[in-house]
Chains A and B, each alone.
Chain A
Amino acid sequence: MKLAVVVQRYGADIGGGAELHARYVAEHLARHAEVEVLTTCARDYVTWRNELAPGVEVINGVPVRRFAVRAPRDPQRFGRQSELVFEHPHSVNDELAWLDAEGPASRTLIRYIEAHQDAYDFLLFFSFRYYHAYHGCRAAAPRAVLVPTAERDPAVGVGLFGPIFRGVRALMYNSHEEQAMLQAVSGNQAVPGVVVGIGSEIPDAVDPGRFRQKYGLNGRFALYVGRIDRNKGCDELFAFFQAYVRQASSPLTLVLIGQSVLPVPSHPQIRHLGFLDDADKFDALAAADLLIMPSYYESLSMVTLEAWALGRPVLANAHCHVLKGQCLRSNAGLYYADYQEFAATLRALESDGALRTALGDRGRSFFGRHYAWPVIEGKYLDLLGQLAREDRQAGGRRPHAIAPLPGWFARRAATLPPAREVLTRATAREAAASRPAPAIPREAHA
């Protein structure tokens, strides 16, 4: 079986959830199939500047074919188009212009996919919201398997993506919440889909003592790992944490790991260590008493899974449906919706060692059952094998199921509702039809 992984950026040193997700999947599937990565020359997800050379290189044993981006992103144009598409009635052309402004617009990549799609059995497209995924899925619809990595943000409600969600061969979801959201938005229940998620490269041995010694951390501490950004809920975390230590007279320290976009408050109990390598990160996770995930939007928090893999409990933002759902399914984390809940849950986790241990144990077993690499690889291979069997049964005929774009006039009619409104309506539908997230059967625990 020959597979292509199509992703907006790719590299051993490129972080970011979806990009790392794609790299892990490519490297692990390469043990079972012939895998090639198709990506752009960009390194920076804000500008999409061409920083890497086009052509083929090999990264960790996987061939990577890069294509140049036509133009870097114009933030002002992208902001205007986003405002129009998310907040106002608009046309299909407006949405296409928004997608073009978002980038990374690489026509050469799309042309390559059109020309060479027959060379691959399946193409795995990562991150539905980018140019390469939309146009790539349209170009190779019969072979397109989408890994949407969708968060609950207005981009989900953009009208262009409905036909994509309904027309690809299969979807690999990160969580049950993501699946429910996309099904509510696009009605793609008929498309084969599997909740897979992603594993992580957990080191065999971690040294929490080394981390504590290296950074001079003695007492208990809560850890945040990720970009320190308002979009990740860090401003709220700072406010809540400072109020908590003031009111509870807690000696707990908040340790932050990651690049800072938001100013970190100057507080004796808040330590920002900057960006750390993986060894330090895993040691930090092992040394921490708990991990805090304040983000409102996550499609799948890898660091949460890593904390669970190392037996650490998680305190998550309840407004993020995915994190809350994972906490409930795993029984390995608490969540908060406001300051009172933040203070009460953090107090419980800080003061109750038995609770921390119990949640951590549940997290470790949850990770082992659902996010260990053999499980992830098995889910991918099972689904791809099933699709291949369907193709063989159909005599090699693969239907092109993505609806074409409307005509010249219809594309210019501003008849599409604001994307945020679409998402809100879908969320309401989802809530109306909601049932508790599927509980993991007891026998699966064994």
Chain B
Amino acid sequence: MAEFNIRADAVDVEQIMQQIRSRIRDKRGVDYTEEQIQAMAGVKLEQFLDPRGVRSDMVAQFRSSRPTEPVPTFTFDDTTLYDSHRTVVRWIRRLLRPLLKLFFNPNPLIQALHIQATLNADTVARRDLDALYYEVMHNLVLEMTRLSIDVKNLKMRVESLSSRLDFNERRARALESVVQYRSTPEADRPAVEAAPAEPRSSEPRGAEPRAAEPRAIQPRPEAAAGAAPEGPGQRSRRRRRRRGRRGTGTGQPASEPGGAPGGAGPASADEGHEPAEAGYAAGEAEHESPSPRDVPEGPDGGTPDSGDREP
């Protein structure tokens, strides 16, 4: 977390809390209350859901399709037509039932009404089930809304994380280079101290040697040795750097005038410490035009060999 710019005489807790809350909002997206999600689910569904998949007015349609009046229901069986709450009447009807059947056949009517009564009962039962479906659908719509918001937020977080990852990778490469650069001062010192005693043959006679020149011209001990043993770590570091240069496309070929391997500028932004040393090499090239053989090392202090040169 980037920290706060604090002066003891100007602390404002309210402002700090606003900053903290704003960062929290940025991190996790906007927090919606239950009412807001309900409103979004009902009104602005198309903004969050695929309109081809779910109808945004589904909930409203579902609600409007439900009948408001209760459906009357009844039972109907083979005795219903002759039934009565009066026992005498019921008895007389049962007595006269064969006579009635002489005039018409009531059985189909009885069966049809019985089926209708069963259907009515099913419909009534289904209404309760519909209410349950409605609840389920309603909750599904809400959950889909909530999830789509979450997905949006997660996408934002993934983007944020990937950018932070990129940044951290660049930072790691830069730190690696710093460690490499600082690991050689002991190796540098003898070269600097030995320089005045061993002037270069290509230097014009009588000219005052510049303070920086000997350091840049003189090969480091391991470079001067030529066949100095090279650790596998150095080789792999060079390879990594080369890849970085290729990746960024800012590297210069070693055959450029005065161009030591590694060129006159940093291969990438994470090698920002290198220009100092590369500058020495460039300065030397300007004044002394050494042959590539006289430029023994790249910014990493390694020994150039054919395998390490840029194509």
Report whether B13 and A348 are in contact in the complex, using a CB–CB cutoff of 8 Å.
no
In the complex, A345→B1 CA distance in Å? 11
Selecting from B2-10, B42-50, B248-256, the interface stretch reads B2-10
Complex contact A362–B14 (CB within 8 A): no
Within 8 A of A (CB), among B19-42: 20-21, 23-24, 28
Which residues of A (158-189) have their CB < 8 Å from a CB of B?
none
Min CB–CB distance B27 → chain A (angstroms): 8
Number of interface residues of A (CB under 8 A): 23
Q: Give a binary string over A124-145; 1 marks a CB under 8 Å from any B CB, 0 the rest.
A: 0000000000000000000000
| Total chain B interface residues with beta-carbon distance under 8 A | 17
Instruction: Name the residue of chain B whose CB is nearest to the CB of A353.
Output: B3
Taken residue by residue from 88 to 104, chain B's Cβ proximity to chain A (1 for < 8 Å, 0 otherwise) reads as 00000000000000000
A331 within 8 A of B: yes
Query: Are A344 and B11 in contact (CB-based, < 8 A)?
Result: no
Q: A341 contacts B8, CB within 8 Å?
A: no
Minimum CB–CB distance for A212 against chain B, Å: 25
Q: How many Å from the CB of A15 to the closest CB on chain B? A: 29
Residue contact B3 to A351, C-beta cutoff 8 Å: yes
Question: Is A381 located at the chain interface by the 8 A CB criterion?
Answer: no
Query: Of residues 344 to 392 in A, which have CB atoms within 8 Å of B's CB atoms?
Result: 344-345, 347-348, 351-352, 354-355, 357-359, 361-362
Q: Tell me whether A327 and B13 are in contact (CB under 8 A).
A: yes
The chain A residue with its CB closest to the CB of B16 is: A334
- Residue ID in chain A nearest B27 by CB atoms: A340
Tell yes or no: B17 within 8 A of A by CB: yes
Q: Does A332 lie within 8 Å of B3, measured CB to CB?
A: no
Nearest-Cβ distance from residue A435 to partner chain B, whole angstroms: 14
Give chain B residues whose Cβ lies under 8 Å from the Cβ of A358: 6-8, 11
0/1 string, A324-340, CB within 8 A of B gives 1? 00011011111100001
Cβ-closest chain B residue relative to A345:
B20
Within the complex, which residue of A327, A333, A352, A361 is in contact with B8, where a contact is CB–CB below 8 Å?
Answer: A361
Give the complex CA separation of A308 and B189 in angstroms. Answer: 54
Given contacts A331-B11, A355-B3, A355-B4, is CB(A340)–CB(B16) below 8 Å? no
- Chain A residue at smallest Cβ distance from B4: A355
Q: Does B310 contact A (CB under 8 A)?
A: no
Contact between B4 and A340, CB atoms less than 8 A apart: no
Q: Determine which residue in B6, B14, B23 has the highest number of CB atoms from chain A within 10 A of its CB, and name it.
A: B6
Known pairs A334-B17, A348-B16; A355 contacts B6 (CB<8 A)? yes
Residues of A within 8 A of B23 (CB): 344
Q: Is B286 an interface residue (CB 8 A)?
A: no
Contact B7 A344 (CB under 8 A): no
Residue B12 is within 8 A (CB to CB) of chain A in the complex: yes
Which chain A residues lie closer than 8 Å to B11 at the CB level? 331-332, 358-359, 362
Contacting residue for A332 out of B7, B13, B21, B28, CB 8 A? B13
**B157 shortest CB reach to chain A, Å:** 14
**Which one, A341, A354, A357, A362, contacts B3 given CB within 8 A?**
A354
B1 touches A347 (CB 8 A): yes
Contact, CB under 8 Å: A331 / B13: yes
Q: Are B14 and A328 in contact (CB under 8 A)?
A: yes
Residue of B nearest to A347 (CB): B1
Contact A331 to B1, CB < 8 A, known contacts A344-B24, A348-B20? no
Contact between chains at A354 and B6 (CB < 8 Å):
yes
Residue in B6, B13, B17, B21 whose beta carbon sits within 8 Å of that of A352 in the complex: B6
29 contacts between A and B (CB under 8 A): A327-B13, A328-B14, A330-B13, A331-B11, A331-B13, A334-B13, A334-B16, A334-B20, A341-B24, A344-B1, A344-B20, A344-B23, A344-B24, A345-B17, A345-B20, A347-B1, A348-B4, A348-B20, A351-B3, A352-B6, A354-B3, A354-B6, A355-B4, A355-B16, A358-B6, A358-B7, A359-B11, A359-B13, A361-B8
Give the interface of B toward A (CB within 8 A).
1, 3-4, 6-8, 11-14, 16-17, 20-21, 23-24, 28
